[in-house]
Structure 1
């Protein structure tokens, strides 16, 4: 694994340095120097400097009140976020800070005007996504994976395949040590605290050591201690040469002063962009002096929200547009450089600059791979790809990722299979429900399969079997897939894997369970209800039962991929009602009005029920048993042809029903994949 490059710190005075270091790393005066050294020795490798710049950036969305109108969210704003700096994007609600973050991270690509540059060149989105990451406000993690397992999945997907596994494990170990998660590496994500989940989200993206990192509200939901640890971590990451950009709503004064750069928005326009330490002097020069003992972050938020008057907001906007802010910052920087020419670490005037990187570190840029440091050419970070057309949120070719399609599929399959095995709802509960329902139905219809007087009851038994298999496969998929979709969107847009690999792994990992459970259920019901003792008929029955389960699961995947969780819960049962009505059990095909008969061809339950009747009563089955007199009307079903005729399936063909279910399965699975691509594109 990569050899770790330590951070060099200028030391003018021992006490001052200790005070600043301990503040950043959470140590007190009684902590030993050995403890402090252990905190720093796991610093991640330095990254090549990549500055991101935007000019005349505009962003608009459709206005809900006007069909043809558009609402402008960002109004021709410009700025530059430098590597080695911890940047905060702030502003009141509706100011456009989240929109700006999403645009810069590449999560928004439509309705945008203006230029976005990286190292002075127009950003190539696909290349940019390879060397950046976006950590969202909500920590979307797979709950059934441990910290170590999640990290190894990330390492195997994001690092080069040629890298030895031992080096990947060492890198994961070092990252967990750096973020204070090594003691929890065997803990599942569902059992982590809020701060630990946030650090794990950061650790997952730190595997390939991206030079640009975006954080959406990183302190959301954390207590004051966890907030300080989180911002201290971001500060240390920025000190390693990364550009760390995050939105933050209303930090405490202590956290606010840890930021290097502030980009303040109000109503889609810039009111301040510059160093945090220059904010209060600038506001004072504008006649807006922060009251004593007030939090500067609270004060500037009140100004931009218009609490002190709209005139002040307009004055700050005009100052930026006229260039007065740039002149002030230039003069302030010049004066500060003269005052601090003899020292690279200041005290109160340079709050937030806890660790200063030695300038000599920037003379040679290093990349670390397999324990050897090597020089990285500047253009390698932003190589242009040959094809950018597929980068609009759809799938990318697997070869553009660090791992092959097969490797992605293998890792994701193992991860998904492991999650399913540990999910009690998807495994134990499904198994228990199939066993219990099979025994219940078997006892209810015990031994009626070969009795001519109970043919209609037996038909009801067969229909209920298909009905249970449909809903038992449909509803869990409808509920679980939307919850994991957020993880898929985050990981795909952060360039972990292609959608093809994810979708195949997701569907293939659950397929063994969707086959085994119906086989267990069908076997119990078939023999308890005394269906024909013919192995071929038994196989035909189980085949259709399994196909019904797979088709229902495919429909659940499609509904879950196309809608939100709340809508999916409603649509799941509702879509089943028409399928049941037109299945042929409740009403014969000829009785259905002509203008509605086409719906019968869309009911896969109808094909399954029809095929099961053929398997049980078709193919010249021998005469059924009848306890009544031979001439009794109740014994007319001794001949199985009469059963098929009365149930309106005498002309049906088993192989047609089998092929129809296969077609339903393929069409629904392919449709689900394209819907998934559309959902990812819609996110952007």
Structure 2
């Protein structure tokens, strides 16, 4: 009766309203029964014919249950299947998963995903954002519209206080190459991002990895408090100290995908003692369990012996059938509670498309402005602009070959520069994209559009500065309309090249391979652009029609020279249209030709970005 009254009291707090959203707890009983996970691997090298596909079993019938108010720790050596099981329980494991995983008796769904927190082992955070900015942006994206913007910001500040991050709230997060908050503080920021949604379930993969014992103790103590508040907490942990071990309500010991023990952490030593493996020295229980999981047992003489792990597996199965299974079946899934939990929030996304777009746009601008306008990058552009202006200083129409060379150099330089900048965009952000998309934070389309819009001012400012310096120093046509025409052509070239970089980066997702491929493609475009080779063989002449440089070069020529103009040559005055570098391209200085060149570039601009978006949609976990 007391248990039922306590359950009813918890359920009474689960209504999702602005007033009690931050206080409400949604009790969830997590059950996993006979979970099996297999993958197929191919035996033999890449060049071996008829490679045999082998099936490897990662998880071999793992069973357990975690109730609200409990913290389960999964122990085991590397390769034992801890992270795989955690990923499966968190609904993030691709491929075929056999067995049953239920949440209050129901299968995984979008509603459960929105009420589940998942902290990965590596802290995937934006380095240039402060702690407050990181949590506020996350709150604006993940909390539903039933909570006002002001309440979301206040909730983020409350989480900062709860996790003891007040002293560093205005410090940037940092990275391996940028000094920021400490490792423990960074881990608490990652946990704070998941606490913002007030999760019923909280999964953590190695939350103490790489931290000192004091910091690890502080983090696990925080998680223990969260569990005591009615949440269901599940974590993997490699080698906890004895202080940490005794904070775990339940322990699951894995070895090569098999369960060696499941039950209360305080009863693990007694269990193994009863089957003949008692520790002979006073030691950390976690160390003793890991020794057994590795197949090692230390006797009274302090000598290590290799033990038969199959015996431990069989003993666990026997104990499970006799004692644990009846106890698990006796734990009710709480039908009333599950309806209340699963019936909340019918929408797939917590916020609208426009809200996601605007928040992501602000976040992108704050984060990327440091990279786009870094001193090194700005200095590089200024130096190249000044050198170009000095090399072509006051080269009037009498130096026609020099002027045309400058125009082609600009099309080439501003083809390569934005291309290689854009290649790294998605490969560098794939971890963040996977993390946030797996949590149901936003639509892929809102993310993609925010990136495209955020890049516009950053990608267009530097070429504008470049052309403003070089154009007038080099003595190109001193006419404001010609200058604007040249500027428009250059910016269009930059955006198309950037789109090609985005498409290659999203399609290949390997930075070295994408860079090599981009170099080959851009070199082909330059060679077919009409400056180096005017008499291209017919069987390969088609390359120029897909060349960004070809159409940009056409626009540049049209911005500087008009039909009927002449230049000084060996026979007096010659038509500019008859100059080899221009005549070989078939340029006739008419408006229709210029519009066609610009139209093709616009089609490329849209087409390359569409290819990048489709490539992102095809990546495993990133599905729109």
TM-score when scaled to structure 2? Answer: 0.86
Secondary structure at the aligned position of 1:303 is classed as helix
Take 1:329 and 1:74, find their aligned partners in 2: how far apart are those partners? Answer: 19
* 1:219 alignment partner in structure 2: 208
TM-superposed deviation, 1:145: 1.0
CA gap 1:426/1:136 in 2 versus in 1, 3 angstroms: farther
* 1:649 alignment partner in structure 2: 586
* 2:57 alignment partner in structure 1: 72
Equivalences for 1:118-517 in 2 at 5 Å?
118-124=103-109, 126-190=110-174, 191-308=180-297, 311-322=307-318, 324-325=319-320, 327=322, 378-383=338-343, 400-421=348-369, 423-424=370-371, 426-451=373-398, 454-517=399-462
* 1:115 alignment partner in structure 2: 100
Take 1:113 and 1:418, find their aligned partners in 2: how far apart are those partners? Answer: 44
TM-superposed deviation, 1:661: 1.0
Take 1:380 and 1:584, find their aligned partners in 2: how far apart are those partners? Answer: 69
CA gap 1:50/1:524 in 2 versus in 1, 3 angstroms: same
CA gap 1:379/1:585 in 2 versus in 1, 3 angstroms: farther
Secondary structure at the aligned position of 1:121 is classed as coil
CA gap 1:645/1:172 in 2 versus in 1, 3 angstroms: closer
CA gap 1:184/1:384 in 2 versus in 1, 3 angstroms: closer
Aligned pair 1:49/2:32, yes or no?
Answer: no
* 2:565 alignment partner in structure 1: 622
* 1:607 alignment partner in structure 2: 551
Secondary structure at the aligned position of 2:42 is classed as coil
- Are the equivalent residues in 2 in contact too, given 1:142–1:484 (CA < 8 A)? no
* 2:609 alignment partner in structure 1: 669
Take 2:537 and 2:241, find their aligned partners in 1: how far apart are those partners? Answer: 69
Aligned pair 1:678/2:618, yes or no?
Answer: yes
TM-superposed deviation, 1:649: 3.1
CA gap 1:144/1:217 in 2 versus in 1, 3 angstroms: same
* 1:106 alignment partner in structure 2: 91
Take 1:274 and 1:683, find their aligned partners in 2: how far apart are those partners? Answer: 37
TM-superposed deviation, 1:570: 4.4
Take 1:58 and 1:110, find their aligned partners in 2: how far apart are those partners? Answer: 11
- Are the equivalent residues in 2 in contact too, given 1:303–1:312 (CA < 8 A)? no
- Are the equivalent residues in 2 in contact too, given 1:46–1:240 (CA < 8 A)? no
TM-superposed deviation, 1:406: 0.4
Take 2:155 and 2:63, find their aligned partners in 1: how far apart are those partners? Answer: 37
TM-superposed deviation, 1:88: 1.0
Secondary structure at the aligned position of 1:77 is classed as strand
Secondary structure at the aligned position of 1:400 is classed as coil
Secondary structure at the aligned position of 1:64 is classed as strand
Structure 2 spans left out of the alignment, 5+ residues = 1-21, 44-50, 175-179, 298-304, 329-333
CA displacement 1:141-180 (0-9 Å, x = unmatched): 1111111111111111122234233322332222111100
Secondary structure at the aligned position of 2:579 is classed as helix
CA gap 1:67/1:545 in 2 versus in 1, 3 angstroms: farther
- Are the equivalent residues in 1 in contact too, given 2:127–2:173 (CA < 8 A)? yes
TM-superposed deviation, 1:377: 6.1
Take 1:385 and 1:147, find their aligned partners in 2: how far apart are those partners? Answer: 29
The counterpart of 1:578, out of the listed 524, 527, 532, is 524
- Are the equivalent residues in 2 in contact too, given 1:58–1:113 (CA < 8 A)? yes
- Are the equivalent residues in 2 in contact too, given 1:637–1:643 (CA < 8 A)? no
Higher relative contact order (CA 8 A, sep 6+): 1
Take 1:330 and 1:491, find their aligned partners in 2: how far apart are those partners? Answer: 36
- The alignment yields a C-alpha RMSD, in angstroms, of 2.8
- Are the equivalent residues in 2 in contact too, given 1:58–1:74 (CA < 8 A)? yes
CA gap 1:533/1:244 in 2 versus in 1, 3 angstroms: same
CA gap 1:669/1:332 in 2 versus in 1, 3 angstroms: closer
Take 2:564 and 2:377, find their aligned partners in 1: how far apart are those partners? Answer: 34
CA gap 1:331/1:597 in 2 versus in 1, 3 angstroms: closer
CA displacement 1:7-63 (0-9 Å, x = unmatched): xxxxxxxxxxxxxxxxxxxxxxxxxxxxxxxxxxxxx73522102222232212221
CA gap 1:522/1:607 in 2 versus in 1, 3 angstroms: same
- Are the equivalent residues in 2 in contact too, given 1:449–1:530 (CA < 8 A)? yes
Take 1:275 and 1:81, find their aligned partners in 2: how far apart are those partners? Answer: 11
Structure 1 spans left out of the alignment, 5+ residues = 1-43, 334-363, 366-375, 387-398
Take 1:316 and 1:301, find their aligned partners in 2: how far apart are those partners? Answer: 13
Aligned pair 1:554/2:499, yes or no?
Answer: yes
TM-superposed deviation, 1:80: 1.8
- Are the equivalent residues in 2 in contact too, given 1:455–1:643 (CA < 8 A)? no
* 1:15 alignment partner in structure 2: none
CA displacement 1:222-253 (0-9 Å, x = unmatched): 11111111111111111111111111111122
Q: Which moved further from structure 2: 271-280 or 152-161?
A: 152-161
TM-superposed deviation, 1:311: 4.9
Take 1:114 and 1:579, find their aligned partners in 2: how far apart are those partners? Answer: 54
Secondary structure at the aligned position of 1:63 is classed as strand
TM-superposed deviation, 1:118: 0.8
Secondary structure at the aligned position of 2:541 is classed as helix
- Are the equivalent residues in 2 in contact too, given 1:108–1:683 (CA < 8 A)? no
TM-superposed deviation, 1:259: 1.1
- Are the equivalent residues in 2 in contact too, given 1:584–1:606 (CA < 8 A)? yes
Take 2:156 and 2:35, find their aligned partners in 1: how far apart are those partners? Answer: 38
- Are the equivalent residues in 2 in contact too, given 1:446–1:530 (CA < 8 A)? yes
Take 1:564 and 1:82, find their aligned partners in 2: how far apart are those partners? Answer: 42
CA gap 1:383/1:570 in 2 versus in 1, 3 angstroms: farther
Secondary structure at the aligned position of 2:239 is classed as coil
- Are the equivalent residues in 1 in contact too, given 2:42–2:53 (CA < 8 A)? no
CA gap 1:246/1:566 in 2 versus in 1, 3 angstroms: farther
- Are the equivalent residues in 2 in contact too, given 1:46–1:241 (CA < 8 A)? no
CA gap 1:648/1:171 in 2 versus in 1, 3 angstroms: closer
Take 1:649 and 1:427, find their aligned partners in 2: how far apart are those partners? Answer: 41
Secondary structure at the aligned position of 2:26 is classed as coil
Take 1:183 and 1:469, find their aligned partners in 2: how far apart are those partners? Answer: 44
TM-superposed deviation, 1:683: 9.9
Take 2:361 and 2:81, find their aligned partners in 1: how far apart are those partners? Answer: 39
- The count of residues paired between Structure 1 and Structure 2 equals 576
